[in-house]
Structure 1
Amino acid sequence: MSGSSAPLVWITRPQPGADKTAAALVDAGYNFLVLPLTEIVACDPEIDPGDIERADFVVATSANAFRFLPEPLLAAFGDKPVYAVGDATRAEASARGFAHVHSAGGAVDDLVLLVSKAEPAGARFVYLCGQVRTGDLEQKLVGNGFDGGLAIVYSSRIVSRMTYLLADALSHRRPDAILFHSALSARAFADAVSTTTEDLFENTRFIAISARVADALPDIFRPCVIVSAAPNEHALLEALRAAVPSSGA
């Protein structure tokens, strides 16, 4: 159980994911502060009904793709098989009512391999995604003989009053570690940290979920940046445990 002497970890990811990370940190013996630097908002997918009807399957690389999927589209996709990049995305798809959901359990290349084994060449897909995408999933699927397009259902944006939020958090207790789940959060942090506050993080470890996220952090903190072994929550928390052990680890 965490206590006042347990390491303090800042969680920079938006809700509802931040609460899930917080629960995992408590179980591992850490104190936490939820300090979302970004937020997720819904977009109008603007997808042609004909593209939905012609699609043979759905792919997604984030649970937000299903969390923000409008009800009409949820019904329109019906019983089409869904291929998710990982277990969290699969769980969200199942929770929204999709009956045939498969998880690649890894990264984008694992997802492409899963689809290529399960679907015939020439099958059409709809990629449910955010406004900012990584991993080139669409191009890789096309390169493997599939056809399809995007349905942008959400976007991420930096929260307002960033400098104030960081200053307020630092006034209570300096963090032992900060978790970064996205490059946007890392860039927001980099933009908000001034030269007058850099020394307040001299004993902080910056745990990034991928090398791309790590690259968005300020160069001044590079010696204290740690990249998780895989781009998922489990590996991120394992990296935290190795860098900043807790009594519950």
Structure 2
Amino acid sequence: MRILVTRPQPEAERTAVQLRDFGHEVFIEPLLDFEVVTPAPAELDFAGLGAMALTSERAVNALVALGVVDQLTHLPVFAVGDRSAEAAVQAGFTEVYSADGALGDLERLIVRHGVSGTLFYPHGRDLSGDLPKILENYEIKCRGALVYTMNARQRLSAETAQRLRGGEFDAVLFYSQRTAHTFTELLRLEKIKVLVNSMKALCVSEKIAAALDGFAEVEIAREPTEAALFDLILRKHAPS
């Protein structure tokens, strides 16, 4: 298949490498760009912390960019998946646990281990769930800090717009609702509609699929992980 990958860099390139290894032709069009946000001083007061939660490797990148990561590396880390766990290890954290799944898996991991003190949760502007509120049910105090944002692109690249008009893609990959919304809006700006009807949308979750419109077919991974999305592609779209 000719696949368009819409996720941000550097994840997009990692995904593309894997898909090319599967035998597909891959094109990259990141629709969101990473930007570090400087939190209020009170949010960077690390007294009384007992652990840290991660739902994105970008949060680690932001902490490194803010120059505060060395003040946190003594904390145990609960990461939603292996990518964020690996980022924490690379940043110098030594006690790192991966839920290897989605937010619900992270919730169970944190509850199982417990937290002595406050759980620090550095995150982005757009969240798929409210972790501090969820953890209130277990009387676990969780303090969030906005440390990065993902800025939506204002236009598609000329090359991608031309390829879309030419019907050159068989499928588009979506990893977030925000990316799905952005793609839909940019198609409207470019007045590209009819040709999308011949493409498949391959999504990590049902929520992402619900944000899309106009695709010939929408396929959803069995669980919200890249591994499950790759499994979907291998099962249903293996190169002949």
**TM-score, structure 2 as length reference:** 0.91
- Indicate conservation of the 8 Å contact 1:47/1:151, yes or no: no
- Choose the corresponding residue for 1:100, options 72, 95, 98: 95
Partner of 1:128: 122
Partner of 1:4: none
- Choose the corresponding residue for 1:62, options 56, 72, 81: 56
SS at match of 1:151: strand
Counterparts of 2:159 and 2:185 in 1: how far apart (Å)? 13
The 5 Å alignment of 1:159-198 reads 159-162=153-156, 164=158, 166-170=160-164, 174-194=168-188, 197-198=192-193
Counterparts of 1:75 and 1:196 in 2: how far apart (Å)? 48
Counterparts of 1:73 and 1:165 in 2: how far apart (Å)? 40
Counterparts of 2:201 and 2:233 in 1: how far apart (Å)? 9
Counterparts of 1:50 and 1:206 in 2: how far apart (Å)? 40
Identity of aligned residues (%): 28
Residue correspondences, number: 238
Give the deviation of 1:49 after TM superposition: 6.8
Give the deviation of 1:196 after TM superposition: 5.2
Counterparts of 2:48 and 2:61 in 1: how far apart (Å)? 23
Partner of 2:139: 145
Partner of 2:19: 25
Partner of 1:81: 76
State the Cα deviation string for residues 47-71 of structure 1 (Å, max 9, x = none). Answer: 5277412110000111111122135
SS at match of 1:129: strand
State the Cα deviation string for residues 8-58 of structure 1 (Å, max 9, x = none). Answer: 100000100001001110111111000111112111132527741211000
Partner of 1:242: 235
- Choose the corresponding residue for 1:227, options 212, 220, 224: 220
SS at match of 1:15: coil
- Indicate conservation of the 8 Å contact 1:163/1:192, yes or no: no
Give the deviation of 1:166 after TM superposition: 3.8
The alpha-carbon distance between structure 1 residues 49 and 179, as it changes in their structure 2 partners (threshold 3 A), is: closer
SS at match of 1:160: coil
Partner of 1:3: none
Counterparts of 1:213 and 1:158 in 2: how far apart (Å)? 16
Give the deviation of 1:78 after TM superposition: 2.8
Q: Which amino acid aligns with 1:61?
A: T
Partner of 1:111: 106
Counterparts of 1:192 and 1:243 in 2: how far apart (Å)? 28
Give the deviation of 1:72 after TM superposition: 2.7
SS at match of 1:168: helix
Give the deviation of 1:212 after TM superposition: 1.3
Counterparts of 2:191 and 2:141 in 1: how far apart (Å)? 51
Q: Which amino acid aligns with 2:23?
A: G
Give the deviation of 1:171 after TM superposition: 5.4
Give the deviation of 1:169 after TM superposition: 3.0
SS at match of 1:190: helix
**Segment of structure 1 superposing worse, 175-184 or 107-116:** 107-116
SS at match of 1:175: coil
Give the deviation of 1:165 after TM superposition: 5.3
> Which ranges of structure 1 fall in alignment gaps of 5 or more residues?
1-6
- Indicate conservation of the 8 Å contact 2:55/2:79, yes or no: yes
Provide the aligned C-alpha RMSD in A. Answer: 2.0
**Segment of structure 1 superposing worse, 51-60 or 235-244:** 235-244
Counterparts of 1:50 and 1:67 in 2: how far apart (Å)? 15
